[in-house]
Structure 1
Amino acid sequence: MAEITYVRGDATVPSGEGVKVIAHACNGIGGWGKGFVLALSRRWPEPEAAYRAWYRDRAHNDFGPGAVRLVRVEPRVWVANMVGQRGIRRGGQGVPVRYEAVDTALARLADEAVRLGASVHMPRIGCGLAGGKWSRVEPLVAGRPAQRGIAVTVYDHGEGGA
C-alpha cells in the first residue's frame, strides 16, 4: 500500500518522474468554468474539449456518476476527468459532491493508473466548489489508488490559486 503525500503546489505541474495522471472531479451537468478546471484549461485545452464532447454525446457513452475519461496532455502526463458531483453549488440544495461516485471513479482511476504504470496527482478532489469534506474523501483515495500501491500526491495550492 502506498502512502498519500501532501505537498504545497500546483497539481497541474505534477512532481516526480515517470508517467503521471492528474485527477479531478467534474460535475455531471456539462459545466466547466470554475475551480480547478480553470487551472487545467489555462495549461492545456484538451481536458475541457474532451469533457464537453463526452458530455454532449452522453446518450451514446458512459458519461455519468463515477465515470472516468483519461486525456493525454503531454507524452507522459494524462488528465483524468472524473464525474464525481451532481450539479453545482446553489443556495440550500446541499453539496454537489457524490461520495459514492468519487469512490467508483477512484476505483476506475486506479485501474487506469496501474495499466499506465502512473502515479496519481490531485487537488483535494470534491472538496472545493463541490462542497465535500476531505475527511470523507481521503479514505476513498487511500482505499482505491493508494491501496493498490499507486503513489498519490495531493496538492494544496497557495493563496490566490485555483
Structure 2
Amino acid sequence: METLRTIVGDATNPQAKGPKVIAHICNDLGGWGKGFVLAVSRRRPEPEPAYRRWHRERAGNDFALGAVQLVQVTADIWVANMVAQRGLRTGSGGPPIRYDAVGQCLESVAEHVLARNASVHMPRIGCGLAGGKWERIEPLIDKTLVARDIATTVYDRA
C-alpha cells in the first residue's frame, strides 16, 4: 500500500521513474497568472494555452468546477489542470477553494493514472491562492489516490 510522500523540491520537475502526472488547481474564470501556474509555465509552456482555450470554448466542452484537463508535455509527463477554485478572491462565500470539486478532480486524475500506471506529483494543492486548508485536502488525496495504491508525492518549497 502506498503512502503519501512529502519531499522538499519542485513539483514541476517530478522525482520518479515512469509516467507522471503533475496535478494543480485552477480557477473557474480562465485566469492563469499567479501562484503555482507561473512555475508550471516556466517549465512546461503547453498547459497554459490549453487551459485558456478550454475556458474560452467552455460553451462546447466540460469546463466547470470538478473538471480536469490533461495536457501531455513530454512522452511520460502530463499536467492535470484541475478546476477546483471558484473565482479568485475570498468573499462572503469564504475562500475560493471548493473541496467537493477537489475530490471530483482527484477522482478523474486517479482514473488517468491507473490506466497508465503513473504516479502523481503536486504542490500542497488548494492551500495557496485558493485559501484551502491542508487538513481538509490531505484526506481527499488519501481517499482518491493513496487508497488506490497510487504513488503520490507532495512537494514543499525549500
What band does the TM-score fall into relative to the shorter chain? over 0.9
Which residue of structure 1 lines up, in the alignment, with residue 29 of structure 2?
29
With normalisation by structure 1, the TM-score equals: 0.95
2:103 is aligned to 103
The residue correspondences of 1:1-162 to structure 2 (distance < 5 A) are 1-90=1-90, 94-158=94-158
Equivalent position amino acid for 2:57 in 1: D
2-structure distance, mates of 1:148, 1:91: 35
For 1:59 and 1:76, the matched residues in 2 are separated by 31
Give the Cα–Cα distance (whole angstroms) in 2 for the partners of residues 92 and 7 of structure 1.
35
Give the CA deviation at 1:94: 2.2
| TM-score, with structure 2 as normaliser | 0.97
Partner SS, residue 139 of structure 1: helix
**Structure 1 residues 118-142: Cα deviation after superposition (integer angstroms, max 9, x where no partner):** 0000001000000000000000000
**What secondary structure sits across from 2:130 in the alignment?**
coil
CA contact (8 A) 2:23 2:80 kept: yes
Task: State the alpha-carbon separation in 2 of the partners of residues 92 and 61 from structure 1.
Answer: 29
2: CA distance, partners of 1:4 / 1:53: 33
Structure 2: runs of 5 or more not aligned:
none
- What is the CA–CA distance in structure 1 between the aligned matches of 2:84 and 2:152, rounded to whole Å? 18
Please state whether the residue corresponding to 1:140 is helix, strand or coil: helix
* Contiguous gaps of at least 5 residues in structure 1: none
Q: What is the alpha-carbon distance in structure 1 between the residues aligned to residue 146 and residue 70 of structure 2?
A: 19
Poorly superposed stretches of 4+, deviation over 2 Å: 90-94
AA partner of residue 134 (structure 2): W
CA drift of 1:93 comes to 5.3
Partners of 2:96 and 2:131 within 8 A in 1: yes
Letter in 2 for 1:134: W
How many residues were matched structurally? 158
Cα distance in 2 for partners of 1:55, 1:76 equals 25
Q: Distance in 1 between matches of 2:58 and 2:116?
A: 25
| Percentage of pairs with the same residue | 59
SS in 1 for 2:125: coil
